[in-house]
Amino acid sequence: MKDSEITKFLVSFAGQIEYVTFPGGVFDDQLYIQYETVWGPDWEPVSGLTSGTSQMARSGVNPERVILNLPLELVFSSTNVSGWPQIIVTVRAQNTITGDALRGYSLFLLPPTAGSSLVSAPLVRPRAATLLGEWMSWITGRYPELADPKMLASGKDNYLLRTESYGSVTVSLCMVSKDLRKLGYDNQPPIYKVYDA
């Protein structure tokens, strides 16, 4: 194919959702995550699972960290960089007393630069709107949830949602692109910046 005929580029992300960290320790019996991917109108998934659920996991020697090691392999094609795919990770816990409860949502932008990266994102969860609701969530250990967590990836219409944050999720990903540079895009940092980092 001639260079002038290229209109699409392909990006591939491979890696894993490594672990969830709670700096105060994990007191739940089991933790599990669900991930969803959100992308813009010009994008389409080519291969890989765009959503999934992990195993039920428990912390080990380090009481603050729950290792999940959930593999991710996604390939997307697009004509336009705008609407770059994002991953929303929902962390939930199962407990004998409180049952199934939300621990938080975290939002990742899949890395737009080629190469491997280890990123962590904080977990955010919505707060109850009223004082009574706050007491109820304190007593029952169950927090308000979002009907559609994908709204976090749009950044619009949050109507001043009140949130709090605790813990983080860490993901390691390797990004490889095809024809991105042939289409005139430049996503590579200059050499001096790579050395700084």
Site for another protein in 14-33 (CB under 8 A): 23-24
Q: Are 129 and 96 in contact (CB under 8 A)?
A: no
Greatest alpha-carbon span in the chain: 65
When the beta carbons of 29 and 138 are compared against another protein, the nearer one is 138
Minimum CB separation from another protein for residue 185, in Å?
A: 5
Q: Is 75 in the site for another protein (CB under 8 A)?
A: no
Using CB under 8 A, pick the residue from 44, 158, 174, 182 that binds another protein.
158
Cβ closer to another protein: 60 or 190?
A: 190
Q: How far apart are CA 146 and CA 102, in angstroms?
A: 10
According to CB under 8 A, which residues from 83 to 122 bind another protein? 83-84, 86, 106-107, 109, 111-113, 121-122
> Among residues 51 and 82, whose Cβ is nearest to another protein?
82
How far apart CA 30 and CA 17 sit, in angstroms, is 17
Q: How far apart are CA 143 and CA 122, in angstroms?
A: 17
Q: Which stretch binds another protein (CB under 8 A): 54-62, 70-78, 80-88, 94-102?
A: 80-88
The answer to whether residue 183 forms part of the interface with another protein (CB under 8 A) is yes
Tell me which of 4, 5, 184, 195 binds another protein, using CB under 8 A.
184
Helix, strand or coil for residue 32? strand
Please count the residues of the chain.
197
Rounded distance, CA 83 to CA 117, Å? Answer: 20
Handedness of CA 141, 146, 147, 148 (dihedral sign): negative
Work out whether 144 is an interface residue with another protein (CB under 8 A).
Answer: no
- Under the binding rule (CB under 8 A), the answer on residue 161 touching another protein is yes
Of the candidates 86, 70, 77, 8, the one whose C-alpha atom is nearest the C-alpha of residue 46 is 77
Residue ranges that bind another protein, judged by CB under 8 A: 23-24, 40, 80-84, 86, 106-107, 109, 111-113, 121-122, 124, 127, 152-156, 158, 160-166, 183-190, 193, 197
